[in-house]
Structure formats: C-alpha cells, structure tokens
Structure 1
C-alpha cells in the first residue's frame, strides 16, 4: 500500500470542499430561478385579481430576495477561496484562507446577518475539519 503524504490528502480534501461548494452554488442558482418564476406567477395573479392578492406577491418577492442574497453569499465565498487557489489547483495558503473566511463569518454575525454567517460557518467548519484531520500535530 502506497503512502500518501498528509499534505496531498489535505489538498485533496480542500479540493473536494471547493467542488462541493461549486455544486451547492449551482443548486442555489436553480432555486433562485425557481423563486423568480414563482415571483412572476404571483405578480401575474396579483394583476389578474385586480390587485387583490397582494400577500402572495409580497411573499414571493421576499422568497426571491432571500434566495438571491444566499446565492450572492455562495458567489462571495467561492471568490474568496478561488483567490487562495494556485495555478495547480491547490491551496498553499489554506490557513490564511480559513482565517479570512472565519473573519468574514464573525463580521456577518456582528452585523446581525445571521443567515449569511450560518452559510459561511458551514464551509469554515468543513475546511477546519479537513485541516485538523490531515494535520501533523
């Protein structure tokens, strides 16, 4: 059985997290498209009802806005992680990447943007777990 260096395992784990993050973003994008369609339907029904079904329109608008903000958060996290990726697809400064995402998560919580902080926390925790799992200490 060949021995795989811990650093290689760590980089593979971080790459898997990044790929999972990209997949999640695409899933959220599909949900965003669906909420936009729901919003358009609610708008049409609101107009057809003589502007009597306002609550459905308001709910659809809020749902779409929330999904848009979630999608933007995933894009932001991906941008940050991509900044730490080298030309070989690895993350040589993974500790700094983790620290940066942690600081963003804390800032979001301090700004009382708890839903966004929770999204960031999911990925911060996964990265931290992978780092600890493949740490030499």
Structure 2
C-alpha cells in the first residue's frame, strides 16, 4: 500500500473538484447553445401563432437566464480558483483560496445577487470538503 502525503491527497481532491467545475462549465455552455436555438424556434412559433405564444417565450427565456447565471457564477469561481494554481497545476495556500471564494460569495450576497451567491456557496463547500477532508484510516 502506497503512502501518499496529506498534501498530495489534498491536491488530488482540489484538482478533482476543479475538474468537476470545468466539466460543469462545459455542460452549461452546451445548454446555453440549446436554449438559444429553442428561443429562436419559440420566436418563430410565437409569430406564426399571431403572437399568442408569449408564455412559451417567457418560459424559455427564464430558463435561459438561470443557465446564464449559473454559467457566470461558475466562471467567476474558476477565475478565482485559477489564481491559486501554480505552473505545475498545484493549488497554493488552500486557506486563502477558500477565503477568496467565500469573499466572492459574500460580495454577491451583499449586491443582492442571491442566486449567484447560492451557487458560489455550493462550490465553496465542495472546495472546503476537498481541503478539510478526513483521511480514511481504516485498514
């Protein structure tokens, strides 16, 4: 059984969380494209129905807006976390990294952007779990 230092295990966990974040961003980009196409189709249907399908536009627009908020939030987190990454791909100063994400969350809460703050909080918790994990000491 190989012994891995706590720091290396922490790095692995943070890197995995960061990759999960990047994957979520990529998925949201695909959803944004899909909703833009749906919106165009809904506009055409609205026009074809003599402007009687406004509810469809509103529904698609609302969902598109939520996806954009999620995407923008994850982009901000990615930029913040990337600032603590060195050239070798390792994350430096874990406490400051978590503090920076928390500050980002609080800033959006103060600006009453509660959806963004909630999304950032979720990812703050994920990164905190990666940093402050309990090692499995069972044999």
What is the TM-score when the length of structure 1 is the normalising length?
0.90
| Structure with the larger RCO, 1 or 2 (CA within 8 Å, 6+ apart) | 1
Counterpart for residue 107 of structure 1: 107
What is the TM-score when the length of structure 2 is the normalising length?
0.89
For residues 61 and 48 of structure 1, the distance between their equivalents in structure 2, rounded to whole angstroms, comes to: 18
1:1-137 equivalent positions in 2, closer than 5 A: 1-133=1-133
The structure 1 segments of at least 4 consecutive aligned residues displaced by more than 6 Å after TM superposition are none
For residues 76 and 42 of structure 1, the distance between their equivalents in structure 2, rounded to whole angstroms, comes to: 30
Equivalenced residue count is 135
Give unpaired runs (5+ residues) of structure 2. none
Quote how far apart the aligned CAs of 1:65 are: 2.0
Report the secondary structure of 1:133's partner residue. Answer: coil
Question: Structure 1 stretch 75-84 or stretch 8-17: which is displaced more?
Answer: 75-84
When the two chains are superposed, the root-mean-square deviation of aligned CA atoms in Å is 1.6
Quote how far apart the aligned CAs of 1:66 are: 2.1
For residues 22 and 91 of structure 1, the distance between their equivalents in structure 2, rounded to whole angstroms, comes to: 15
For residues 104 and 88 of structure 1, the distance between their equivalents in structure 2, rounded to whole angstroms, comes to: 25
